[in-house]
Amino acid sequence: MEVIIRPTREDAEHLVTRLIADQVRAEPDLVLGLATGATMERVYVQLARAHIDEAVDFSLVRTFNLDEYVGLAGDDPQSYRFYMDQHLFSKINVDRRNTYLPNGVAEDLAAECLAYEARIARCGGIDLQLLGIGKSGHIGFNEPLSALQSRTREKALTPTTIAQNAGYFSRPEDMPHRGLTMGVGTILDAREILLLVTGASKAQVLARAVEGPVTSMISASALQLHARCRVIVDEAAAAQLVEQEYYRWIFDHEPEWQPYH
């Protein structure tokens, strides 16, 4: 795991965007894992701009999203499929047939989860997975007590997650209480991982995930087990990291990072 601290939220988002765009250039048929949320919206704006201004070509890219709400169809404005279409897929030249999310209204949710795993496998696995972190320490909808070897499945959401996400609904009581999510084990199978965390509200949970023990109570802590995971944060999110000066020293002395200063 590498922790990279950037001065501002914009700097952190820019670095993540550049890393994704450069990977797409290097591997035109990249299998890209995607996430949702307010932080990701700004990354997707920049990726769309890179497509237009720098001719970054997404035509052969295949995407897999982490999760979807149970009970919401893809045309529901609060679904993650709708979110992805609105914020990214409609703004780049990706083939919509190569963009995958779990189907939250599948007749057989267990079968849908198995099929999602099989689809990832048929594509050769995820090359690069983009992640955020929830206030309960989750990645995807892997809430506390998610097994570290778990696969795509249905999961009950915590009151913390429900409260955090209900604000996106015009009627908070419509917020689903269950989701379909890639498992922790599914996420760890990705060849590379980028975790983007910004803002003071995430400082405590980030410190627990990065510097605390690996525990199913904080599913993001499992990323400590991944050989190629980069955690990119702003100063506000880094505030409670004990070893933050060490992380800054590594960034400043690693030649590969110099172009991103």
Q: How many CB atoms lie within 10 A of CB 12?
A: 27
Quick one: how many helices (H) and strands (E) in the chain?
Answer: 8, 10
Angle at 252 between CA 3 and CA 221, to 5 degrees: 5
What is the separation, in whole angstroms, between the first and last Cα of the chain? Answer: 20
Q: Which of 159, 164, 141, 132 is nearest to 12 (CA)?
A: 132
Looking at residue 251, what is its pLDDT? 82
> Which residue would you say has higher pLDDT here, 205 or 261?
205
Question: What class has domain 2-260?
Answer: alpha beta
Q: Quick check: helix, strand or coil at residue 53?
A: helix
Q: Which of 184, 250, 244, 243 is nearest to 214 (CA)?
A: 184
DSSP state of 157: P
Could you read off the pLDDT of 93-146 as tens digits, one per residue? 999 999 999 999 999 999 999 999 999 999 999 999 999 999 989 999 999 999
Could you read off the pLDDT of 192-207 as tens digits, one per residue? 999 999 999 999 999 9
Q: How many CB atoms lie within 10 A of CB 218?
A: 24
The residue ranges of every structural domain in the chain are 2-260
Is the model's pTM score more than 0.85?
yes
Could you tell me the pLDDT band of residue 256, with boundaries at 50, 70 and 90?
Answer: low
Q: Is the pLDDT of residue 165 over 60?
A: yes
